[in-house]
Amino acid sequence: MRFNAKDLASLARRPSGCFDKEGKLKICRVVGDEKLIEPRERWCRLKGNLLFLMKNKSSEASEVVILERCWIVEFRSKTDVSIVLKFQSGEPDLYLEAASKPECESWAVALGEANSEGLQNKIQQLRRLIMEIKEERSSDEARQFLPSSQVDSLGEPQFTSIQRIANEPKLEFSLACKDLVAATRDRKLNTFIQVSVVHPAEHILTRYSSTEIVEGTRDPLFLTGVTFPPEYPIYEETKIKLTVYDVKDKSQDTVRTSVLPDHKEPRADVGRSFLGCTTFRVGDLVKSKEQQLTLTLRTSDGGKTVGTIEVNLVKMGELEDGETDHITTDTQDQKCALVRECTATEGISGKDNLPSLNAVLKNPICKLYRFPTSDNKWMRIREQMAETNLSFHVPKELINLHIKEDMRRNQELKDLGELAPHWDNMRKSVIAHCDQMLSMYQDTLAELGKHTGSSFKSSCSKGEKTLEFIPINLHLQRMHVHSPRLKDALYDVITVGAPAAHFQGFKNGGLRKLLSKFEAERRNTGYQCIYYSPENTAKAKEVLSNINHLQPLISSHADLLLNSASQHSPDSLKNSLKMLSEKTELFVHAFKDQLVRNALLALYTARPGCVLKKPAVPRNSAEEGGDLQHQDHPSQIKRQDSIPHHSEYDEEEWDRVWANVGKSLNCVIAMVDRLLEKDNISNIKEGENDPSAADCKVLHTGGDWYEQLYPLVITLKDCMGEVVTRAKQSMAFVLLQELACGLPQCLMLTLRRDIVFSQALAGLVCGFIIKLHTGLRDQGFLQQLHTVGLLVQYEGLLSTYSEEAGMLEDMAVGISDLQKVMFKVIEAKSEDFLPIITGRREHYIIEVQLPAKMFELLPQEIKEGKLLRMYPVLFNVGINEQQTLAERFGDTTLQENINQENLELLKEYYKLFTEKMPPDCLPHFQEQNDLKGLLENLHQNIQAKKRKNVEIMWLAATICRKLNGVRFTCCKSAKDRTSMSVTLEQCSILRDEHQLHKDFFIRALDCMRREGCRIENVLKNVKCRKYAFNMIQLMAFPKYYRPPEGTYGKADT
């Protein structure tokens, strides 16, 4: 054979990464069974079919062995670590000895695949695969010989869709292997299956999912199935490739926890080795008589059979047919019989809910499991996770409301009129700061308007300023359980990062501490401005809101009254008067507060050159406007000028101005009564004498009605305008004091609170909509919703140490602020089902839109627009290593206080529930005594102050589910600790409510954590399938909150 010695020497000196395998081996030549010399250590490098032998890693190659026309003899002894290369040419055999048995096996595989014969086998197998993929291409290839018109007439390739139920996964199947062949005879296999999809249009292989690892058996039955969501482009022509791997070391199986290009196959030496693969068409599975395929697994060259694989089509409404199966339990070598039988059960109702629910849920991820029950039956579990476009919709709506509210406030401050120099300078400073803050809100809204792409905010983006109003990693986590003897059940948890102002940081703590400190400091600034309590400033905002809401309504009803008078319509006149009276009385009542009178006096003192006049006998404002039916005619009302400047101020003036509205209304009422009475008498008399004369009278009195009512209505509007001007100025002056006392901290705290509330509200709206859809056919729940309200329970996993203590303080205030949110359900008038938000910072109303069919299912009270109350509660238990530091060297009173305060809120909700709801409204398996016992147990656990007492969270979650509440789970980023908690909750529900076999609890938990939706959530956030824990951290975690081996390591969080 000719070869170039120089090129071979150059090849042997290339960097280590250029070789297929390299390492130390002891080598010698063998004739028969005798070694010619003692084995000597050599550095061996394998490249293609060339094996270079070198004295050391840096020396020149002393020998090159061409691996052609040779075969390998591998010794099967457990202790033997050597192999022999035998050559057809008859030259002496080559003896190779490795340092360990695994290293010896690795070299045997590498050398066996190095020759050109093995390469040819691989090429043939790849050619067969390519031909299978391309077999549908013939029509495409024929097009190049057709005229363009004929090509166009053929259109796009048509693929056969899979028939399915709306919103159900397109395809689901389970997997099991039999008679797998190990590389070495005595090895116990630890196998998993990687699922890849060959799309018929693109002819590209895409890695899709994996099963869990089943250890120590050659007949693995996998608990993790494969599911394709509704919008996944899968057809009968789609091909699915199943590849079986043997995992040598789970902790080193890095390929399964990292992202590789779809076309790349993992290297064999990274913790796993290839066993075999097979391919099938989706149509073959769907159309098969038994809905099952048994496929042969072959090696990559297609020549060797290494076992079989069973693919079973899954339908959630049915159980599997078949004989008894055996799968390994958590106990080593223990077997558990699992009977498969087919029974049809009642599906979950609510298929009509899909359009409006799909309007808020996006990009679902589905996982399928089958677990044994305690009576050896199969139950199926579908785990789903979906993000929501409410993550961006709600904050944008909220910021828009903030901008409008702040613009109104700034204009009201400007409309205060002339002020003394001190107050005028203060106003200018406040407006300047407010304008700056308003500009920031507008910039944020503009940036959010530019956002495209994913509808969730990843944990890596929690510190971005432009996204600070967006909740972190907000997802719906749903578990659908189908068990043999129970009805199908849904369990929902909303997972979201703790609502907190991450961009602003936590150097000085969170909102709970900052608000308390700010209020204490504000009390000591009286020499600069007038102190008003938080209750008074909230009242001032409420008065301004009522003014802005009621004034246009009253004007509108007054105009309708005049229109009815001009048309001489008695019925319309009565209805218009009724509406006008109701709204005007509400308007008058809104100013029945001492705060308005005090604020007017304070505002007068702020005018240039004010002089106060004390009245001899104070008047009672309630008496002045109390009896509206016995007031004087408006002609006797003395009209008041605006608040006087440089003159004496009469403190009773406001009472007279305020009462004039009531007097004016009474005059309008009296006039309408007189007109209707005269009209009635006149119509009777004229009708008896001459009907035609009565018609003329109608035309004449129509003009009289309008002319007689017009001046009274104008007087009412003028009186109301005068009250509005004074009240607006006085309340704006109160807000001026609030802002002036704490600039710029006041505005920064408002911003921080807005940010935290925005994140919390987005999650709440998502949770409410999901709960409403799932409970639409539950009359007990709907009655509870409008009679009592909805319980919203948050589970926090934050520590009380360092920055997380600040996050917890933010979260506590944000969740508490949700009490000022009310929901209202309305019928959708279009295909846009996104919720509508109205209101102001102290009071928001969320209008949830439902399609007509769904809206008809609601009770009459909800259909009539009754506002639905929310009862948010938060229970927090830190579980990480930082909580260990807080418990030993820091302070846990924040957590204790939060839990105690929210326990009282939970008891209050339960008390309301028992008072207003009949006992039979609880689900059939829940009793009043259960709830009483759970509440008492929760109380005892909170009082015990036990370290990392996770039972508090379990009890709170159970109480929430029994009270038809909405469940939330939160940690810093809703990624790692949240995943541990959610999966533990799901498995606990399966054990306690659906009879999960006790021996499979840990295995089910590991399945969900290793291959379920939560590891996909980690991938979405940090592009890596690894929970961000290390071994030292996990030592501090409670036992059941630790992930399985190989699923954690260094990753961004």
Residues labelled as active-site residues: 971
Given a contact cutoff of 8 angstroms between Cβ atoms, the answer to whether 489 and 461 are in contact is no
DSSP state of 373: B
1016 vs 933: CA distance, rounded Å? 38
DSSP state of 331: S
553, with CB counted inside 10 A (0-12, 13-18, 19+), is middle
Amino acid at 259: V
Q: Residue 663, by phi and psi: left (phi above 0), alpha (psi -120 to 50) or beta? A: alpha
Residue by residue, DSSP assigns 706-734 as HHHHHHHHHHHHHHHHHHHHHHHHHHHHH
Helix (H) or strand (E) holding 476: strand 475-482
11 three-state secondary structure: helix
Residues 6+ apart with CB under 8 A from 794: 811, 815, 872, 873, 874, 875, 968, 969, 970
661 vs 590: CA distance, rounded Å? 12
Helices 390-414, 421-450: axis angle to 10 degrees equals 160
Torsion angle in degrees (nearest 10) through CA of 599, 601, 605, 610: 150
Number of neighbours of residue 312 by Cβ within 10 angstroms = 20
Q: Give φ, ψ of 77 to 5 degrees.
A: -65, 145
Residues 6+ apart with CB under 8 A from 144: none
Cis peptide before 744 (omega within 30 of 0): yes
**Which among 7, 2, 22, 8 is positioned nearest to 62, based on CA atoms?**
8
820 vs 542: CA distance, rounded Å? 13
Angstrom distances, CA of residue 416 to CA of 72, 479, 683, 727, 730? 97, 57, 53, 11, 8
**Which among 739, 731, 685, 904 is positioned nearest to 816, based on CA atoms?**
904
**Which among 240, 242, 241, 232 is positioned nearest to 161, based on CA atoms?**
232
**Length, in residues, of the chain:** 1053
**Which among 561, 565, 563, 557 is positioned nearest to 584, based on CA atoms?**
557
**Which among 341, 279, 21 is positioned nearest to 133, based on CA atoms?**
279
Q: Token pair of 378, please?
A: 């199969």
Sign of CA dihedral 183, 185, 186, 192: positive
DSSP state of 635: G
Number of neighbours of residue 157 by Cβ within 10 angstroms = 12
Helix (H) or strand (E) holding 122: helix 116-134
Angstrom distances, CA of residue 851 to CA of 324, 779, 781, 855, 864? 47, 18, 19, 6, 15
Residue pointed to by tokens 């009276």: 581
768 vs 848: CA distance, rounded Å? 9
Q: Give φ, ψ of 795 to 5 degrees.
A: -105, 115
Sign of CA dihedral 601, 603, 604, 609: positive
**Which among 642, 736, 741 is positioned nearest to 420, based on CA atoms?**
736
870 vs 886: CA distance, rounded Å? 32
Number of neighbours of residue 382 by Cβ within 10 angstroms = 22
